[in-house]
Structure 1
Amino acid sequence: MSSFLLGYHIRANGVRLHLLRYGGQGPRLLLLPGITSPAITWGFVAERLARHFDVHVLDFRGRGLSFSTPGVVASLDAMAADVLDLLNVLGWSSVTVLGHSMGARVAIRAAALDPGRMARLLLVDPPMSGPGRRPYPVPLAWYVESIQMAVKGITAEELRPYAPTWTDEQLRLRAEWLHTCDQDAVVQAHAGFHEDDIHADLPKLRTPGLLMAAGRGGVMLPEDLAEIESLSPGLSQCTALNAGHMIPWDDEEDFYRLLGDYLKVDLR
């Protein structure tokens, strides 16, 4: 039986934000997806986490059912401000925040700005690109081309070249929802991977947490982990050795094992 409860909207930081809620019992967990991942695409992970947490998955602005308009401002700072005001509007404190990729960078920026709002950070393969650093390994064209195809209407099979390791079900869900990812928002986020200095935020973190790297993603390299350990010694580290950047898609059970070991709960 599904643990999905409802979808709902909150007005925060001047925009409409949409979330999906799973489980409804246990400590609150806010899940922040990546650059082209509407909340519903993380439903399979939310279902598993809902065994132990009250899970809320966010559609970032410019994605899913949240506010979107041509030219939408979707910078790292704007998205971090959305998260912090969302917590204020809902009256949440001591929340666990799980962020993947772009969502992990948003979580880092938000936690650096307001260290007291979050109890734990669970950071999954955040891009370590930035000013003067190596570029993010996935080119912007990969996102833009697939979004433009989705806007016109795309099948799972037509998406397969963009994600050849995904299951049919995963590709069907992406084909259904990718059109909701605003191209302007994605272009801004991808530029932010190179222009925003997330490393400057890391020493400001006072929130304990976990940093999970993908062993085959090319987004986080061993030298990144060593640097982060020196900048944020409060973050535990682990690596999903056989997974690419989309860790739960590539090795779902190892993702749950690693996360469960840190959280001291059985997610398998």
Structure 2
Amino acid sequence: MPHPQRSVPQSALADLADIPATSRWARSGTARLHVLDYGGAGPTLLMLPGITSPAVTMDFVARELTDLVRPLVVDVRGRGLSDGGGAYRLEEYAEDTEAVVAGLGLHRPLLFGHSMGARIVAAVAARGKVATAGSVLADPPMSGPGRAAYPTRLAAFLDQLTQAERGTDADEVAASWPRWPRREQELRARWLASCERRAITATHEGFETEDFFDWWPAVAGPAALLYGADSPVVTADGVAEARALLPSAAFAAVPDAGHMIFWDNPPAALAALRAALRPMTG
């Protein structure tokens, strides 16, 4: 039996009216990419979320940064309101990000990404196709060929997507993510069905077949890596390898947080992000 197509329910679209951001659009090849622009007079910060996180789910992070930067959050290809299609590999995601920078006329933006988004940030910064002012990576998957597997199985992501496709609610989301703030559980319940099944599957495969450390040593400009003190994704060995390969980068552990650092411990994660960004905004 075929799976349902991506969907964005009316209740999810209503969320966009409740956030202090303007929808903007860029084109990467034939794909239209949706971006939430929060405005602000500071330097531009282009934000890239994780594997099953449409842009709106990072609203609670973006809105806390507008005194420091102008946040723009991308609906990564195959999520939210952005078109799907393509191979969903790091090079393609990087090309999409470069197209957003060019299409929206962003001048030397700062880059920030969480999880999958952090891997994309590393690829963009290493490729050097667009000028950037600095990069902050939050808990990037460090799995890859010959390394330990990504700790969350693909089946877990797809089970949650199936729940969203047939209709879920915050209580059911809380069974998987009990520590999250209630609003973030509600947003995930409404928006997860906007994620394309093939995008999740191909990206998860990339976590196993594309090595983060192929990109990380070549990240240009100021860089910072944030990670959850209890994260199963960024281990102590991973931090040590990252430090050795890019000694100029700043590192910060977010206490009492696993992989989903902003959802697990919002105040500490936001403080760490602001501290990482501040030297890059001068």
Q: Residue in 2 aligned with 1:166?
A: 180
Structure 1 Cα separation of the partners of residues 137 and 60 of structure 2? 18
Structure 2 Cα separation of the partners of residues 92 and 238 of structure 1? 28
- Contact 2:138–2:226 under 8 Å retained in 1: yes
Q: Residue in 2 aligned with 1:222?
A: 236
Q: Structure 1 counterpart of 2:238, which letter? A: D
Per the TM alignment, residue 68 of structure 1 is displaced from its structure 2 partner at its CA by 2.3
- Write the deviation string for residues 82-139 of structure 1: whole angstroms up to 9, x where unpaired: 0012212223232111100000000101111116521110100001000000011111
- Alignment map for 1:131-170 (pairs within 5 Å): 131-170=145-184
After TM superposition, the score normalised by the length of structure 1 is 0.93
- Alignment map for 1:235-246 (pairs within 5 Å): 235-246=249-260
Q: Does 2:83 correspond to 1:61?
A: no
Q: Residue in 1 aligned with 2:34?
A: 18
Percent sequence identity over matched residues? 37
Q: Structure 1 counterpart of 2:31, which letter? A: V
Given the alignment, which residue of 212, 234, 249 partners 2:263?
249
Q: Which SS does the other structure have where 1:264 is aligned?
A: helix
Per the TM alignment, residue 232 of structure 1 is displaced from its structure 2 partner at its CA by 1.2
Q: Residue in 1 aligned with 2:61?
A: 45
Structure 2 Cα separation of the partners of residues 5 and 165 of structure 1? 26
Q: Residue in 1 aligned with 2:23?
A: 7
- Contact 2:230–2:258 under 8 Å retained in 1: yes
Per the TM alignment, residue 208 of structure 1 is displaced from its structure 2 partner at its CA by 1.1
- Write the deviation string for residues 28-52 of structure 1: whole angstroms up to 9, x where unpaired: 0000000000000000111001122
Q: Residue in 1 aligned with 2:9?
A: none
After TM superposition, the score normalised by the length of structure 2 is 0.89
Structure 2 Cα separation of the partners of residues 170 and 85 of structure 1? 29
Structure 2 Cα separation of the partners of residues 171 and 92 of structure 1? 32
- Contact 1:23–1:51 under 8 Å retained in 2: no
Given the alignment, which residue of 31, 45, 49 partners 1:29?
45
Q: Structure 2 counterpart of 1:198, which letter? A: F
- Write the deviation string for residues 14-39 of structure 1: whole angstroms up to 9, x where unpaired: 31000101133211000000000000
Number of corresponding residues: 262
Q: Residue in 2 aligned with 1:231?
A: 245
RMSD: 1.6
Q: Residue in 1 aligned with 2:132?
A: 118
Per the TM alignment, residue 165 of structure 1 is displaced from its structure 2 partner at its CA by 1.3
* Pair 4,251 (structure 1): closer, same or farther in 2 beyond 3 Å: same
Structure 2 Cα separation of the partners of residues 92 and 167 of structure 1? 32
Q: Structure 2 counterpart of 1:192, which letter? A: G
Q: Structure 1 counterpart of 2:224, which letter? A: L
Per the TM alignment, residue 237 of structure 1 is displaced from its structure 2 partner at its CA by 0.4
Stretches of structure 2 that go unaligned for 5 or more consecutive residues are: 1-17
Structure 1 Cα separation of the partners of residues 140 and 71 of structure 2? 21
Stretches of structure 1 that go unaligned for 5 or more consecutive residues are: none
Given the alignment, which residue of 199, 202, 227 partners 1:188?
202
